[in-house]
């Protein structure tokens, strides 16, 4: 991450539901600019923000960076669901559990779990998993229809689907950290061990059932409850 490479520099990172073709066409879009230095974040907010490109600031650089990277893994699976014709319910559930997985990893790396519910997390996840212009979603769809990685690389014509490399890296890091990431694990098996998409989906569906709100999501729920209780208190 940039903050690790340049710890003394005043840096800012930009992420969010930013499909480049739409922004280039002048369509409305939001984004988030993260920096630990408030003045730096605001300077970039003024620099890049327009009437059609609404920029918000955030001080969680780690969370914004991780959300921007990890959502590409989920997008691969979302595309595979499209390619298999599994329907809207399956895709919505997969995206939601994918967001929980992103939050677990981000929280273990020191990120604010609330960042995952914002533009860099939830917002970017929706855009990347649903847009016809999303390379990662398209790669997942091609995988589900039987294309090999070599075929896909050729079809991309020099463009990069970041989710492939991210899956390989995060799979190893999650194991080292002891973070449970079943979606990333199954995606790794499809990409690098030859497991079929159908078998991977079956593996996810047959996992042991647990509570929906656990780990960082439980922490988000607690923080939201405290915020609501504080708002209700008389001055």
Catalytic residues: 71
Enumerate the β-bridge partners of residue 14: 33
Distance between first and last Cα of the chain: 42
Strand ranges of the sheet holding 29-34, from the earlier edge strand across to the other edge: 13-15, 29-34, 53-58
Contact assessment for residue 168 and residue 191, using Cβ atoms and an 8 Å cutoff: yes
CB atoms closer than 10 angstroms to residue 147: 16
- Provide the token pair at 223: 């923080």
CA atoms of 188 and 199, how far apart (whole Å):
13
Radius of gyration of the chain (CA): 18
Q: How far is CA 55 from CA 29, 41, 191, 196, in A?
A: 9, 10, 35, 40
Q: Which of these, 108, 97, 52, lies nearest to 73 by C-alpha position? A: 97
């Amino acid at each position: 991450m940039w903050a690790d490479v340049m710890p003394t520099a005043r840096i800012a990172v930009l992420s969010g539901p930013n499909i480049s073709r739409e922004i280039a066409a002048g369509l409305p879009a939001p984004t988030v600019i993260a920096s630990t230095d408030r003045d730096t974040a605001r300077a970039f907010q003024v620099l890049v923000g327009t009437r059609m490109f609404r920029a918000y600031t955030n001080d969680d650089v780690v969370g914004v960076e991780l959300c921007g990277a990890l959502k590409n893994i989920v997008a691969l699976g979302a595309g595979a669901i499209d390619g298999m014709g599994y329907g809207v319910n399956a895709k919505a559930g997969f995206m939601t559990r994918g967001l929980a997985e992103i939050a677990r990893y981000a929280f273990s790396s020191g990120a604010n779990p609330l960042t995952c519910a914002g533009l860099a997390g939830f917002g970017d996840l929706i855009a990347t998993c649903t847009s016809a212009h999303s390379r990662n979603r398209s790669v997942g769809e091609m995988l589900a229809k039987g294309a090999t990685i070599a075929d896909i690389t050729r079809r991309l014509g020099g463009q990069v689907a970041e989710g492939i490399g991210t899956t390989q890296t995060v799979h190893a890091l999650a194991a080292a950290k002891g973070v449970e990431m079943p979606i990333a694990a199954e995606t790794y098996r499809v990409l690098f061990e030859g497991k079929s998409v159908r078998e991977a989906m079956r593996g996810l569906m047959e996992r042991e059932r647990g509570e929906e709100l656990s780990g960082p999501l439980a922490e988000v729920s607690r923080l939201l409850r405290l915020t609501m209780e504080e708002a209700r208190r008389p001055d």
